[in-house]
Each structure stands twice: as structure tokens, then as C-alpha cells.
């Protein structure tokens, strides 16, 4: 894939890789979430429209834009999904909805499995029954690989999750492959690194939690011992990855049932990430390390070379730029909340 990258908004993309989406109706599950909102923005910029399904629409995450229909509902509601396909006839599905937090997954694995696994098969069954969806991306996660002993995750790395959230994403991953291979649905699976960006209101995560603490004049908190290493991917890069993958699976049968890693090669420990945020914000505060987290993989490294070679995708936003944009978003958010 030798396409050169052009420009769309603040991102470099190629027309032949992501394409124009004019006239397309895209069902985005989990549309109120961090990635769902970013995917919606890119779809609108490319000329498409979005049916945004989410159980948790609020005034804080509402998308007020032409071309977006916000739908409040649960992905486990088969009747709702059938009505959406019958009445709205989406031609593309980006399935992002999930319970995404490790801690709550440990405390309540049943709800996590129900949302992430039952929810996924309900979404895919509705697509199978409708028979009109031309491209589907199912969001798995790098967490599905489990602990690889610090070795880079490649798509050939076995999925060996050991904890509830990780296992739920591995099961979602396998459901996507099953529906592609058994029923011929045009499904591809994404496995993204840790996402960050403006709009993430889950304060237990290192990026939004650190930024909020600094804005409130408090020392940021690191729940682990600070040494856990993650790959970090700016959310806008992840959003474009979803559309690039959707475009590919709609055009190329060989992509059906296949999984692709998406990462930027920006690997930091939790302490290093907190320190980068503090530097961007010009803060002299120092993190408090609690060392209380459990059931997390110590080192995760994601190899995204397959996506570069086969899809023509690569991350565009460097860490400092992404963090600066993220900090700006939260400054505006908390400024508006205080006014």
C-alpha cells in the first residue's frame, strides 16, 4: 500500500485509503464515548451521517451537529437494533460500545461480560438478520492479548487474557471472526493501544485523572506502582483507523475476519505519562504513587506494522501535540463547568 497521505481537518489521510463517505449512514455504538465521538467527527467531515447509539447520553457528551441522530438505548436490546436496521438502514457499523474499565470489570464481571459479549453478539445478530450492512468494524483491544511477557503484540500473538475485562474483549474479538467466517459478514476487528484525548470523563484513567488533578491544584494520583508500560494512541488517530479499516473490509474480501493492531509506538510507564502531562501543563506538582492496582498486565507493547503495510494507515499525532490538545480540551471543559 504505497498511498501518500493527504489532509483532512487536523489529520493526514489519503483519499484512496479512507475515501469519501458522502451518503453513507454509519451506526456507531458507544457513540457518546471517547472514541465514538471522534469517529462521529471524522464521518461527518467525510460527508457521511451518524446514528449514534449509546446508553449514557448526557448534556456533557451530547453531539450537537447536523447529520447526527442520537439514540438512547442498550446494545443488548435486539428489538431496538432490528428497528434501527429496518427504519434507518445503516450501511456501516462501527461497534465500540463496551464496559471499558478494568476495576469495575473485576468488581462486577457478570455485567462486563453481559455488556461486552452478549452486547456484541446481539449487535452482530441484528446485522446478520438485516443483511444490508456493507462494512463492519468490531472494536477489540490490545488487552485481549493478555500478558506476553513484555514482547510486542502482533496479530499472530495468541489471545491469552487472564482477567475479566481482557477476556471480554477477547471474546468480542472471536465473535467478530466467527460471524465473518461462518456467516460471511463483512467484519474486521480493531485492536487499539491505550487511547487518550479530550472527552474522556473516566477520571480513574491516567490522562484525564492527571489533568483534572492539576487543574484543581492537587497532586495527581497513580494507582499502580508507576512502572506499568502502555502504548498510547491519540483518539483522532484511532478514529481514522476505524474508518480506514471499514473502507478496507468493504472493498477487499481478504480483510474479512482479520484483526489489525493500531498504535503510535509511543510507549511510556504510568509515571512517565504523568510527568509528560505535568510538563505540558507547566506544573511543579509531583504524582502520588498508590501502588494499589491489581489484575493489570505490567508491560504492553503493540506492533502496528500490519496496518501500515496492508491498510496504508499510520498514526499522525505525536505525543506532545496530542497531550497539548487534550489539556486544552479539559481547560475549556472545566472552565465552562465553573462558569
Q: Return the pLDDT at 103.
A: 84
Q: Return the pLDDT at 74.
A: 98
Closest CA to 86 of 13, 25, 18: 25
Q: Does residue 302 contact residue 142 with C-beta atoms inside 8 Å?
A: yes
Handedness of CA 79, 94, 122, 34 (dihedral sign): negative
Q: How confident is the model at residue 14 (pLDDT cuts 50, 70, 90)?
A: very low
Q: Across residues 254-261, what is the average pLDDT?
A: 98
Handedness of CA 266, 268, 274, 279 (dihedral sign): negative
Q: What is the pLDDT of residues 191-229, one digit of tens each?
A: 999 999 999 999 999 999 999 999 999 999 999 999 999
Q: How confident is the model at residue 337 (pLDDT cuts 50, 70, 90)?
A: low
Least trusted range by pLDDT, from 9-23, 121-135, 167-181, 261-275: 9-23
Cell of 211: 489533568
For the chain, give the mean pLDDT: 92
CATH class of domain segment(s) 8-194+233-265+301-316: alpha beta
Q: Give domain limits for the chain.
A: 8-194+233-265+301-316
Q: Across residues 268-294, what is the average pLDDT?
A: 94
Q: What are phi and psi of 223, to 5 degrees?
A: -70, -30
Query: CA-based angle 308:311:316, to the nearest 5?
Result: 50
Does 179 participate in catalysis according to the annotation?
A: no
Q: List beta partners, residue 221.
A: 288
Q: How confident is the model at residue 296 (pLDDT cuts 50, 70, 90)?
A: confident
Check pLDDT > 80 for residue 338: no
* Alpha helices for the chain (secondary structure H): 15-18, 34-45, 78-88, 102-107, 109-113, 119-130, 164-183, 206-215, 235-251, 270-281, 305-306, 319-338
- For the chain, how far is it from start to end, CA to CA, in angstroms? 49
Q: Which of 145, 165, 232, 330 is catalytic?
A: 165
Closest CA to 11 of 235, 307, 317: 317
Check pLDDT > 60 for residue 138: yes
Dmax (CA) for the chain in angstroms is 57
Q: Does residue 224 contact residue 294 with C-beta atoms inside 8 Å?
A: no
Cell of 217: 491544584
Check pLDDT > 80 for residue 246: yes
Query: Could you tell me what percent of the chain has a pLDDT over 90?
Result: 86
Q: What is the pLDDT of residues 140-182, one digit of tens each?
A: 999 999 999 999 999 999 999 999 999 999 999 999 999 999 9
Q: Return the pLDDT at 19.
A: 76
Q: How confident is the model at residue 336 (pLDDT cuts 50, 70, 90)?
A: low
Check pLDDT > 50 for residue 9: no
Q: Does residue 227 contact residue 269 with C-beta atoms inside 8 Å?
A: yes
Q: Which residues contact 123 (CB under 8 A, 6 or more apart)?
A: 29, 75, 81, 93, 95, 97
Closest CA to 57 of 97, 103, 86, 93: 97
Cell of 213: 488533578
Check pLDDT > 70 for residue 1: no
Measure the CA–CA gap between 171 and 193, rounded to whole angstroms. 18
pTM for the structure as a whole: 0.92
User: 299: helix, coil or strand?
Assistant: strand
Q: Which residues contact 292 (CB under 8 A, 6 or more apart)?
A: 223, 224
Check pLDDT > 80 for residue 132: yes
Q: Does residue 199 contact residue 235 with C-beta atoms inside 8 Å?
A: yes
Check pLDDT > 60 for residue 7: no
Q: Return the pLDDT at 60.
A: 81
Check pLDDT > 80 for residue 48: yes
Q: What are phi and psi of 336, to 5 degrees?
A: -70, -35
Least trusted range by pLDDT, from 12-16, 167-171, 263-267: 12-16
Measure the CA–CA gap between 314 and 304, rounded to whole angstroms. 8
Task: Indicate the burial class of 61 (C-beta count within 10 angstroms; 0-12, 13-18, 19 or more).
Answer: middle
Q: Return the pLDDT at 13.
A: 47
Q: Looking at residue 118, what DSSP letter applies?
A: I
Query: CA-based angle 243:247:251, to the nearest 5?
Result: 170
Q: Does residue 60 contact residue 332 with C-beta atoms inside 8 Å?
A: no
Q: How confident is the model at residue 256 (pLDDT cuts 50, 70, 90)?
A: very high
Check pLDDT > 60 for residue 3: no
Q: How confident is the model at residue 292 (pLDDT cuts 50, 70, 90)?
A: confident
Q: Return the pLDDT at 339.
A: 44
Report how far apart, in Å, the C-alpha atoms of 186 and of each of 121, 136, 138, 148, 281 are.
15, 6, 10, 30, 44
User: 40: helix, coil or strand?
Assistant: helix
* Alpha helices for 108-205 (secondary structure H): 109-113, 119-130, 164-183
Amino acid at each position: 500500500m504505497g498511498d501518500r497521505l493527504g489532509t483532512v481537518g487536523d489529520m493526514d489521510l489519503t483519499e484512496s485509503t479512507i475515501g469519501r463517505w458522502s451518503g453513507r449512514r454509519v451506526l456507531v455504538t458507544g457513540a457518546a464515548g471517547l472514541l465514538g465521538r471522534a469517529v462521529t467527527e471524522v464521518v461527518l467531515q467525510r460527508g457521511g451521517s451518524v446514528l449514534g447509539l449509546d446508553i449514557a447520553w448526557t448534556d456533557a457528551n451530547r453531539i450537537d451537529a447536523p447529520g447526527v441522530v442520537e439514540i438512547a438505548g442498550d446494545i443488548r436490546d435486539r428489538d431496538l437494533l432490528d428497528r434501527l436496521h429496518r427504519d434507518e438502514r445503516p450501511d456501516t457499523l462501527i461497534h465500540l460500545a463496551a464496559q471499558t474499565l478494568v476495576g469495575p470489570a473485576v468488581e462486577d464481571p457478570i455485567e462486563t461480560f453481559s455488556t461486552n459479549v452478549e452486547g456484541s453478539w446481539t449487535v452482530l445478530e441484528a446485522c446478520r438478520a438485516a443483511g444490508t450492512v456493507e462494512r463492519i468494524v468490531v472494536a477489540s483491544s490490545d488487552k485481549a492479548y493478555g500478558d506476553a511477557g513484555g514482547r510486542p503484540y502482533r496479530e499472530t500473538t495468541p489471545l491469552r487474557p487472564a482477567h475479566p475485562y481482557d477476556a471480554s474483549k477477547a471474546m468480542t474479538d472471536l465473535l467478530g471472526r466467527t460471524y465473518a467466517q461462518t456467516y460471511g459478514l463483512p467484519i474486521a476487528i480493531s485492536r487499539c493501544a491505550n487511547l487518550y484525548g479530550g472527552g474522556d470523563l473516566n477520571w480513574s484513567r491516567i490522562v484525564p485523572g492527571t489533568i483534572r488533578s492539576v487543574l484543581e491544584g492537587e497532586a495527581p494520583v497513580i494507582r499502580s506502582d508507576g512502572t506499568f508500560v502502555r502504548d498510547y494512541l491519540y483518539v483522532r488517530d484511532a478514529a481514522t483507523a476505524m474508518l480506514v479499516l471499514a473502507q478496507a473490509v468493504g472493498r477487499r474480501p481478504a480483510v474479512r475476519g482479520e484483526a489489525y493492531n493500531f498504535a503510535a509506538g509511543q510507549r511510556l510507564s504510568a509515571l512517565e505519562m504523568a510527568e509528560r502531562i505535568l510538563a505540558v501543563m507547566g506544573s511543579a506538582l509531583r504524582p502520588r504513587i498508590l501502588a494499589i492496582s491489581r489484575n493489570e498486565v505490567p508491560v504492553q507493547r503493540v506492533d502496528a506494522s500490519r496496518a501500515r503495510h496492508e491498510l496504508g494507515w499510520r498514526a499522525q499525532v505525536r505525543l506532545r501535540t496530542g497531550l497539548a490538545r487534550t489539556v486544552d480540551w479539559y481547560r475549556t471543559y472545566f472552565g465552562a463547568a465553573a462558569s
